[in-house]
Chain A
Amino acid sequence: MTKPQLVSAAVMLTAAFSAAAEIEIGGSASAEGRYFLQDALYPGQPRSQVSVAIEPEFYTEWNDGDDSLLVRPFARYDQRDDERTHMDLREFQWLHVADNWETRVGVGKVFWGQTESLHLVDIINQTDMVEQVDGEEKLGQPMVNFTTYGDWGTVSAFVLPYFRERTFAGPEGRLRPPTPIYGDRAQYESGAQQQHLDYALRYQNSLGDWELGVSFFDGTTREPELTTDFDEAGQSYILPYYAQVKQYGVDLLKVQGAWLLKFEGIYRSGQSEDFTAAVAGFERTTVGVMGTNHDLGFLMEYQFDERDNNFFATGQNDLMMGVRWTFNDIDGTEVLAGYIQDLDESGTYSGFIEASSRMTDNWRWKLDAYFFSADVVDTYLYMRRDDQVQMTLEYFF
């Protein structure tokens, strides 16, 4: 090799290396204030709480993008609730992509399903319950995932080697039963406890106007049952019990002009009762309402669950009605509002408003409000004074 060749080879090597080691950094940080509209029901609970959170993201890829690593830690500090002050590794995932298959290894997040008011089929990730009362925030799930795809659809297989416990508000937090749920005193059906190896399998395909998903899960239930125990001082407390379950799920979506028809159904066995649950409904969107360029969507979903007494299964015979209002403005303003009525008990209902808009390219405000009501023994009876308004300022970098 002549000297100029050597030099150019070295330059190319350096360039290749720096390209490979290039790390993209992004993410968000936020400050949030929560205000509860009524005095607390239980002693020790605050009227308001302030918290801050950060969720940076680090990404790098190599092999021409066929391999990539995504790292996304999360941390929140809450002024009042020690249980809400928490950290999590949302993602730490190596993705390898080939022509008709891909693997994801590490900690990740997976979403399954089609409906809006409930996510019955979605079971891979545990809910980070202290984050948001709507249950949309999830904890990172350790997994080995293999996915293969073709004209016939997509098949995805998961091995889940470690179980994540659901998070619950502490004694100084609102949105809880009269005594806190002690998440860290969880009991398990399996002797392996959190080390139990869970499996999941999913088939997904788009067939013209249809979206079809069929799934199976075998392992530790993500949705615990609550039991009571006594501590050393003879005080009673609530703890979660995680049974071994098998869950079969189906999710469907049909495009019908301006209508999206949605369905999710599950059958789960292994908990104190075997049951089916389903949610079905539609979303109909009108564009350019009343001479503006706003989109207005109407949502209605019926929720059914065979279980009578699960704290987390609130949609037993309930109807959700909602409105999604998209302004299509430069600031990306959106409002989603909904109301869920229990069809058995007229006094049991809940409502929510989620609004957000951009202030600059990097700043966004969010206004969320949740309301609960119940006059018979129900999950919402415990939270009947926990109506809240929450303001969040989010910075994206």
Chain B
Amino acid sequence: MKFVSRLNLVWLCAAMIIAGPVAAQNAVEQGLTIAKERKARDSGWNNSVASMTMTLRNSQGQEATREMRVSSLEMQQDGDKALTVFDSPRDVAGTAFLSFSHAMEADEQWIYLPAVKRVKRIASRNKSGPFMSSEFAFEDMTSFEVEKFTYNFLREDKYEGEKVFVMEQMPQDEFSGYSKQIVWIDQAHYRVRKVEFFDRKGDALKTLEFEDYQSHEIDGKQFWRPYRSFMYNQQTGKSTELKTNSLEFEQGLDESDFDKNSLRRAR
């Protein structure tokens, strides 16, 4: 009991140390500071390979699953690179998707269609379109970069019993499908716990919840990844659940594993 209260005291002091100077800043600067810390905490994971199951549900209760594998490469000074290969449904098995995410410029994306052996470039402005018929847009699947948004700190709050920062982030890209997002970031690890998306008209569009965070240690640093994300579209009643079946870091991937030649031979 004594130990607990001492721990609480430590937390309180820590919170005061953080919250004290932070409170003095204005909401914009405070939001930016949190975003930078979020990025810094997630910097240095280098590369990973994940196997995932995506479950799509429409408002009539129809359900379908897609199996996919995602290889990711962290880029310093730029957005990340990702190669996604679909294993199901069978008619799209072998279809692969390559994306170079950029902080300030438009993302670059290619899709490989195995039946015709053709690599097709995707128009970058279409980032608000659905990713594989899911409730995730292409832009939701790309990496978080500080420069992609402007920020506005709203408040401190509690989410599922944990202390969180709540802030708005407004996409800088005029072709984003969103006017703003409200994000819940936990204060302990700067992990995003929840995002509310607002469409171009300013109406509530989707809610994304991250669950089952698991920690991975790479070179002595902890990296947190959500093993379940759930996106719900309030306007259509459709939802998409993204579950991570396996996730491995330090797979020895480099840039040559993320070009059009690797896309062509992905399977």
| B129 close to A362 (CB less than 8 A) | no
- Segment of A185-193, A326-334, A343-351, A372-380 engaged in the interface with chain B: A326-334
Binding site for B on A (CB under 8 A): 26, 28, 59, 95, 97, 99-100, 102, 109-111, 136, 147, 149, 154, 204, 206, 211, 253, 255, 257-260, 283-285, 287-288, 293, 295, 328-330, 332, 358, 361-362, 364, 394, 396-397
Q: How far is the CB of B104 from chain A (nearest CB, A)?
A: 13
> B35 on the interface (CB 8 Å rule)?
no
| A95 close to B265 (CB less than 8 A) | yes
> B177 on the interface (CB 8 Å rule)?
yes
> B62 on the interface (CB 8 Å rule)?
yes
| B90 close to A396 (CB less than 8 A) | yes
| A396 close to B260 (CB less than 8 A) | no
Binding site for A on B (CB under 8 A): 56, 58, 62, 64-65, 88-93, 106, 108, 116-118, 121, 123-126, 128-130, 133, 175, 177, 236, 256, 259-261, 265, 267
| A364 close to B175 (CB less than 8 A) | no
Contacts of B130 in A (CB 8 A): 293, 328
| B90 close to A257 (CB less than 8 A) | no
Contacts of A136 in B (CB 8 A): 116
| B124 close to A255 (CB less than 8 A) | yes
| A330 close to B64 (CB less than 8 A) | yes
| A111 close to B123 (CB less than 8 A) | no
A284-B123, A293-B130 are known contacts; what are 18 more A-B pairs with Cβ within 8 Å?
A95-B265, A111-B117, A206-B121, A211-B121, A257-B124, A257-B175, A258-B123, A260-B121, A285-B129, A287-B129, A288-B129, A328-B129, A328-B130, A328-B133, A330-B62, A358-B89, A361-B65, A362-B89
Majority secondary structure of chain A interface residues (helix, strand, loop or mixed) = strand
Contacts of A328 in B (CB 8 A): 129-130, 133
Whole-angstrom CA separation of A102 from B108 in the bound complex: 24
Contacts of A288 in B (CB 8 A): 128-129, 177
| A206 close to B91 (CB less than 8 A) | no
Contacts of A293 in B (CB 8 A): 129-130, 236
| B126 close to A295 (CB less than 8 A) | yes
| B133 close to A102 (CB less than 8 A) | no
| A332 close to B261 (CB less than 8 A) | no
| A111 close to B177 (CB less than 8 A) | no
